[in-house]
Amino acid sequence: MRALLPALSLSVSVLLALFPPAGRAADAPLSEVVRETAAPAAVTGLQARDYLDNNDRGDKIELSWCLSADDGAGALSVLEYRVWRSQAPDEQGELVATLEPGTAAHVDTGVTPGVAYYYRVEAFDGALSSPAATAGPAVGRINLFQTSRLPVLVLSLAFFAMVIWFTRLAARGTNLFVRRIPGLNAVEEAVGRATEMGRPVLYVPGIGEIDDIQTIASLTILSHVAKIAAEYETPLIVPTARSVVMSAAEEVVKEAYAEAGHPDNYNPDNIRYLSDAQFAFAGAVSGIMMRERPAANLYLGAFWAESLLFAETGFETKAIQVAGTANVSQLPFFVTACDYTLLGEELYAASAYLSREPKLLGGLKGSDWMKVITICIIVAGVVLTALGVPQFGRWFFTQ
């Protein structure tokens, strides 16, 4: 009996050695069981720094390290890396990522810009974690300048420089050539026709807000039209869809009448605010056309879907119609139903041509030369692409 226990334990040990149970200890001889309680090797060279990308909002921190010596090989093969983040150097903080073996870098997103963070990276083998490698403080910073946006800066500066240069030239009195827009003759002819027929002129400055550049260009042309109407003593009706545009139009028309020497003929009731709602405005203007029967309809400014309603109703009343807008989608209707149309930028050119205002002229000339630059770049791009140099396009690719 006394020999039974040692024999039994010897048998069990031999059996365990020959047929070990499944588990890590299976690979390890008995002498190495003591080493199994050791953790895997720590990662080394951990660095944490602000992450730089195209679109940096300062909310990312980049981590990099050298893999643990036990990664991918050896008895203590790493199962995963664990990344901890805290705001104090001696705190473990929260677990922000678990990464697969072989990963030597990570981008921590969602950090608050300007706040210092401390990081710990541990290698975990399924049972134990390595000693933590630490790094920090790392602070996410919003970049002052995105280098990938350099082409935007270069082109913008070139454009501004040209506009300012031409504006100065115009202000000094230099004669800057702008070819006459044929549509302007049509505008003057329309007002003349209305005078002959003894009927009013209808001028719709679009439904854009006062800050819309098309509305501003339209008001410049309105001033010119109002002067002619004042000289010929033709009533001028100006319906508007925005209250601020109405008050601007009132000023413009009143000044024009005064400059033409007919301040008493100015009728403020002819400058009317109708409605902010697009189709309500369209309906009201159509109503004016049917009831007051203007002989000339001028649509110059920002228009949207109501453009066709105006053009069709005006066509029915047999009025002479001249239109101009930079909203390309509306140009087809104006071209179809109006006697003359100012296409897109011709509206701005017309207002610059009429007013000779240095800022308008400068802007027009600047954009003209911008077009020249654009044409040159496109031609260069086409030629280079044909010669098998597609990298050219990448300079413009800022994403």
Residues 202-231 that bind other proteins (CB under 8 A): 210-211
Smallest separation, CB 329 to other proteins (Å)? 5
Instruction: Specify the residue, 101 or 344, whose C-beta has the smaller distance to other proteins.
Output: 344
Applying the rule CB under 8 A, the residues between 80 and 109 that interact with other proteins are 109
| Residue 120 CB partners (closer than 8 Å, separation 6+) | 83, 84, 86, 92, 93, 132, 133, 134
Instruction: Specify the residue, 74 or 110, whose C-beta has the smaller distance to other proteins.
Output: 110
The residue type of 390 is P
Applying CB under 8 A, does 44 fall inside the site for other proteins? no
**Which residue among 9, 11, 44, 55 contacts other proteins (CB under 8 A)?**
55
Applying CB under 8 A, does 139 fall inside the site for other proteins? no
CA quadruple 310, 313, 316, 317: dihedral sign: negative
Applying the rule CB under 8 A, the residues between 351 and 380 that interact with other proteins are 364-365, 368-369, 371-372, 374-375, 377-380
Smallest separation, CB 377 to other proteins (Å)? 6
| Residue 8 CB partners (closer than 8 Å, separation 6+) | none
Smallest separation, CB 399 to other proteins (Å)? 6
Instruction: Specify the residue, 136 or 208, whose C-beta has the smaller distance to other proteins.
Output: 208
- Give the binding range for other proteins (CB under 8 A) out of 79-87, 91-99, 118-126, 329-337: 329-337
Give the position of tokens 């209808």.
202
Q: Rounded distance, CA 204 to CA 189, Å? A: 17
Cα 110-114-116 angle, rounded to 5 deg: 85
CB–CB of 300/323 below 8 Å? Answer: yes
Cα 242-283-277 angle, rounded to 5 deg: 35
Q: Rounded distance, CA 154 to CA 149, Å? A: 9
Smallest separation, CB 221 to other proteins (Å)? 16
- Give the binding range for other proteins (CB under 8 A) out of 35-43, 77-85, 147-155, 184-192: 147-155
Applying CB under 8 A, does 329 fall inside the site for other proteins? yes
Smallest separation, CB 215 to other proteins (Å)? 11
Extended strands (E) in the chain:
44-50, 60-66, 80-86, 94-99, 105-109, 116-124, 133-139, 201-206, 236-240, 271-273, 296-302, 320-325, 340-343
**CB-count exposure of residue 318 (10 Å: 0-12, 13-18, 19+):** exposed
Applying CB under 8 A, does 343 fall inside the site for other proteins? yes
Instruction: Specify the residue, 232 or 392, whose C-beta has the smaller distance to other proteins.
Output: 392
Smallest separation, CB 13 to other proteins (Å)? 53
Instruction: Specify the residue, 90 or 211, whose C-beta has the smaller distance to other proteins.
Output: 211
Applying CB under 8 A, does 158 fall inside the site for other proteins? no
**Which residue among 4, 29, 175, 179 contacts other proteins (CB under 8 A)?**
179
Q: Rounded distance, CA 346 to CA 323, Å? A: 11
**Which residue among 197, 283, 293, 357 contacts other proteins (CB under 8 A)?**
283
